[in-house]
């Protein structure tokens, strides 16, 4: 039995909580599409289908925000305390804005600082990181020139194993990340200036015209 608690029930449930909050709170200027895609492990099938048959014109999409595995924590007493690839108690990998957009990077840093002030780990916010491209659901969007922003707490020993169970997740940390992503999405959707890519997309990214 593969319950996939961290990969990726943690991201899917955060998406649900954010959608719920977005529905009940003040509406930002821009619309927000919430996606739960399948087939990611098989080859980003769901996301590839979305950008191939988008419900809105792709040029109208200002950014793609990806939440993939946010339940691990290299905290004392946690099952991930030895997991070199997992982030610390109040830390999350932020992937994309450092490579793609000084404008959006500044907005995210300010939003985070003025809110829960998580530590944004940038170890994978590099053009040569497979977590930047092409390993995650951000890939198909980036290939079409859309700004991508990814949040994850990283890989651990239970990755793609039957042991990926909910009892091992750090629920408090997951909540803090979900709240931060909510705030980030809200700020991007409501910003007067359109979020944009203002740095060059690395040549390693396949491009679709």
State the minimum distance, in angstroms, from the CB of residue 207 to Zn ion. Answer: 25
Instruction: Name the CA dihedral angle for 82, 12, 174, 151, rounded to a multiple of 10 degrees.
Output: 70
- For Zn ion, which is the closer residue by CB, 7 or 143? 7
Q: Which two tokens stand for residue 82?
A: 């030895």
The answer to whether 137 and 40 are in contact (CB under 8 A) is: yes
The stretch near Zn ion (CB under 5 A) out of 28-36, 39-47, 88-96, 187-195 is: 39-47
Tell me how far, at minimum, the Cβ of 176 lies from Zn ion, in Å.
22
163 CB-contact burial (10 Å; exposed 0-12 / middle 13-18 / buried 19+): middle
DSSP line for 44-97: SHHHHHHHHS-SS-GGG--EEEEE--------TTSTTTT-TTS--TTEEEEESH
- Cβ 113 vs Cβ 180: under 8 Å: no
Nearer to Zn ion, 7 or 105 (CB): 7
Could you say whether residue 7 binds Zn ion (CB under 5 A)? yes
Specify the stretch interacting with Zn ion by CB under 5 A; choose among 36-44, 49-57, 80-88, 197-205: 36-44
CB atoms within 10 A of CB 60: 9
Q: Which stretch binds Zn ion (CB under 5 A): 5-13, 49-57, 169-177, 196-204?
A: 5-13
Residue 180 and residue 142: Cα distance in Å, rounded?
22
**Residue closer to Zn ion, measured from CB, 7 or 170:** 7
Task: Name the one range near Zn ion by CB under 5 A: 6-14, 118-126, 140-148, 164-172.
Answer: 6-14
Query: Least distance to Zn ion from the beta carbon of 7, Å?
Result: 4
User: Smallest distance from the beta carbon of 70 to Zn ion, in angstroms?
Assistant: 13
CB 102 within 8 A of CB 118: no
* Minimum gap (Å) between residue 32 Cβ and Zn ion: 24
Q: Does 91 bind Zn ion (CB under 5 A)?
A: no
Of 40 and 143, which CB lies nearer to Zn ion in the complex structure? 40
Which residues, numbered 95-134, are part of the site for Zn ion (CB under 5 A)? none
| Interacting residue ranges for Zn ion, rule: CB under 5 A | 7, 41
């Amino acid at each position: 039995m593969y319950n996939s608690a961290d990969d990726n029930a943690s991201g899917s449930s955060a998406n649900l909580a954010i959608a719920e909050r977005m529905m009940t709170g003040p509406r930002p200027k821009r619309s927000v599409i919430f996606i739960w895609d399948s087939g990611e492990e098989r080859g980003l099938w769901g996301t590839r289908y979305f950008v191939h048959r988008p419900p809105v014109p792709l040029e109208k999409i200002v950014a793609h925000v990806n939440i993939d595995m946010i339940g691990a924590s290299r905290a004392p007493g946690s099952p991930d305390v030895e997991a070199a690839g997992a982030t610390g108690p109040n830390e999350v990998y932020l992937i994309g804005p450092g490579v793609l957009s000084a404008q959006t990077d500044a907005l995210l840093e300010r939003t985070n600082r003025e809110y829960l002030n998580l530590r944004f780990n940038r170890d994978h916010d590099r053009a040569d990181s497979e977590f930047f491209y092409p390993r995650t659901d951000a890939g198909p969007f980036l290939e079409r020139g859309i700004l991508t922003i990814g949040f994850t707490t990283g890989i651990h020993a239970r990755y793609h194993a039957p042991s990926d169970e909910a009892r091992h997740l750090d629920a408090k940390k997951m909540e803090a990340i979900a709240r931060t992503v909510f705030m980030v999405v809200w700020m991007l959707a409501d910003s007067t200036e359109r979020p944009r890519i203002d740095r060059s997309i690395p040549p390693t990214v396949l491009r679709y015209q």
